[in-house]
Every structure is written in structure tokens, then in C-alpha cells.
Amino acid sequence: MRFFIFLPLFIFVSCVNPFAPGLDTSAEGSELLGDQRTIEGVFQNFRYAYTFKDTAVYSRLLDENFVFVYRDYDKGQDVSWGKIDEMRATYGLFRNAQNLDLIWNNIVVDMGDSVYRNVVRGFNLTITFNPADIIRIDGRANFILQRSSPSQPWLIVFWRDESNY
């Protein structure tokens, strides 16, 4: 008789794989991505995209008319490109780097209103291609963010990289 009582329990327990834990349904997983309707949420999502090399999240940060600008010190001129080239360059970085560690520092400038903001913020970026090839970049990112209304997410329209790399 005991055999028949414990048999269903044994069958149920034997089907549980301890090496395949269940899906985490807690709210903690949702904290990785920020609310892009806030400036801090944009920076949180930017860091997430770099940390997890997620081009889908990164693409949602950029406006269709996005422009990236950096200073080419060898040529003594500014170089710029749009969203398509930015996504191509970022995809290459994400694909070739073993690890990306982005730290956002203090906000130096924060001007604007509820639909237009100019935010300048310091950053530290460590790019590990392999243990013998690690690049560290420190600088400031000068962003212009816009949205159509206060209930919409912020999008990066312009980014000037003010690092010395």
C-alpha cells in the first residue's frame, strides 16, 4: 500500500531536473532595463546594451535622425555618421569584444525642458578584446535627447564623444 502512495511522489520528483532551474518570474529581472521616459533610464539602458552587447536595446535608444560625432585628432577634424553607420560600428564592437564595462559618472550639464535635453556626462569604458588587449577610455559624452511629448521615451538625437581616444 505504501508503494502506491509514494509512487506518484517518486515519479513527480524524478522529473525535476536540478540543472535546469525554473524561469525567474520575480520583478528583479525587469530592473535591468530602465524606464526610457526618464533621463536616468536612458543611461541605464545604454549601459545594459553595452554590458550585454544587445543591439536591439541600443537601437531603441537612437532616434532615426541620430548623429554621432567624434574628433579625429590625427586628421585634426570632426568625423560624423548617422544611425545606420552607428549600428554597424556598435555591432562590430559588440561582436569583437569579450567584455564591455561602461560606468557612467556625474552629470556635468543638464539643460532643457520636458521634450528637449542636453546632457553631458562623464564615463569610463573598458573594452576587453582578449586578456592581452584591453582598452580603457575616459571622457565625456555630450548628448541631445528629444521626445515628442512628456509621456514618450527619450531618444538620443545627437552624441558628441568628448573623450581623448
* Domains, the chain, with CATH or none: 33-161 (3.10.450.50)
Evaluate if residue 141 carries a pLDDT over 50: yes
Q: What is the pLDDT of residue 47?
A: 98
Q: What is the pLDDT of residue 164?
A: 77
For residue range 9-30, what is the model confidence (pLDDT) as tens digits? 444 545 555 555 554 444 444 5
Q: What is the pLDDT of residue 26?
A: 44
Is residue 57 within 8 Å of residue 45, measured between CB atoms? yes
Q: What is the pLDDT of residue 59?
A: 98
Q: What is the pLDDT of residue 9?
A: 47
Spatial separation of the C-alpha atoms in residues 114 and 126, rounded to whole Å: 32
Is residue 125 within 8 Å of residue 34, measured between CB atoms? no
Spatial separation of the C-alpha atoms in residues 125 and 100, rounded to whole Å: 7
Is residue 114 within 8 Å of residue 150, measured between CB atoms? yes
In this prediction the pTM is 0.80
Angle at 70 between CA 67 and CA 76, to 5 degrees: 130
Mean pLDDT for the chain? 88
E-only strand ranges, the chain: 62-72, 77-82, 99-112, 116-130, 133-146, 155-161
For residue range 28-57, what is the model confidence (pLDDT) as tens digits? 445 789 999 999 999 999 999 999 999 999
Q: What is the pLDDT of residue 32?
A: 84
Regarding predicted confidence, which is higher, 20 or 61?
A: 61
Q: What is the pLDDT of residue 28?
A: 46
Q: Which amino acid, residue 84?
A: I
For residue range 95-118, what is the model confidence (pLDDT) as tens digits? 999 999 999 999 999 999 999 999
Q: What is the pLDDT of residue 7?
A: 47
